[in-house]
Amino acid sequence: MQRVFPFFVEAALVTIEITVLALILGLAAAALAAAAKMSRSAILRTIGTLYVSLFRGTPCLIQLFVLYFGGPQIGINLEPFAAGVIGLGLNIGAYMAESIRGALVAVDRGQTEAARTIGFSRFQTLRKVVLPQAARLMIRPLGVNTVALLKGSALVSTISVVELTYTAQRFIGSTYKPFEIFGVAALLYMIMVYAVARVVDLLDKRFAIV
């Protein structure tokens, strides 16, 4: 066990790396999708709605497979790591778009109406009135999405990204000690999940109104 432990720590770092990169991509995709879904242009609304509906309506595993195994057929040749980041990022982006939109919609309409009445433009209203209030409401749902992303990152082991689950699987195959190996991998995942949950708690407290 002591011999394999360094491999697990290294693998956990890869899991963190993938999660962070997919999170950045996901947040960007989510912000764009939420903006598209709430825009005045019918075309943008349709694009935003389609993206969210298709990526939420199909399994993340299939999305990864289409990208990684199917990609070369349409001229997209990606390394496993890149395919994993893009696949996970686009998938979680669809969920995060709903978290963002939910928070924006939850801000009382009267706030927008009042801001518009005193002469704020649509953009100013969003930027100075709605977003500051909505940001607070987004922290928890986006945190839940991030935890789901972290655990979901295990899926990229199926497209041979050498992260924590892939490493565990490989050692289960070579040591025939699934319980011990699983125990170590599970512990590392739980530490990471706990860390994310703590950060979300702290942010939530930091930005709480009362």
- The contact set with another protein (CB under 8 A) reads 54, 57-63, 65-66, 69-75, 151-155, 157-158, 165, 168-169, 172, 176-179, 182, 185-186, 189-190, 193-194
CA distance 64 to 58: 11
CB nearer another protein, residue 70 or residue 132 = 70
CB nearer another protein, residue 63 or residue 125 = 63
Which are the contacts of 182, defined by CB distance < 8 A and separation ≥ 6?
168, 172
Min dist. Cβ of residue 193 to another protein (A): 4
| Cβ(137)–Cβ(70) below 8 Å | no
CB nearer another protein, residue 134 or residue 155 = 155
CB nearer another protein, residue 81 or residue 189 = 189
Min dist. Cβ of residue 40 to another protein (A): 28
Min dist. Cβ of residue 75 to another protein (A): 5
Min dist. Cβ of residue 116 to another protein (A): 33
Residues in the chain: 210
Min dist. Cβ of residue 121 to another protein (A): 37
Min dist. Cβ of residue 122 to another protein (A): 33
CB nearer another protein, residue 59 or residue 132 = 59
CB nearer another protein, residue 9 or residue 54 = 54
